Amino acid sequence: MSHGDGDHERFAHYVQKDKIMASALDGTPVVALCGKVWVPGRDPKKYPVCPMCKEIYDSMGPGGDKGKGDKDK
């Protein structure tokens, strides 16, 4: 199955984790912080973090879950 993955597929976007879980279950698309809508499926660790998502994520500051000094995920 390869029908034209765009460049946007080369980034790992930030998405709420529960959304990803739901998507994994029923295949519904998720909405990333940057507004991108897609169906996750491949290993996001292979891709660099979407710069726009990162900026938004950083601007949200701490207060997320267990995000102190731990950068993975």
Piece of 20-28, 36-44, 62-70 that binds Zn ion (CB under 5 A): 36-44
Give min distance, CB of 53 to Zn ion, in A.
Answer: 3
With beta carbons less than 8 A apart as the criterion, state whether 32 and 15 touch.
yes
50 counts as binding Zn ion under rule CB under 5 A? yes
**Helix (DSSP H) and strand (DSSP E) numbers for the chain:** 2, 2
What is the contact mask toward Zn ion in residues 7 to 26, using x (rule: CB under 5 A)? ------x-------------
Structure tokens belonging to residue 46: 């292979």
| Contact partners, residue 43, CB within 8 Å, separation at least 6 | none
Q: What are the residues binding Zn ion (CB under 5 A)?
A: 13, 32, 34, 36, 50, 52-53
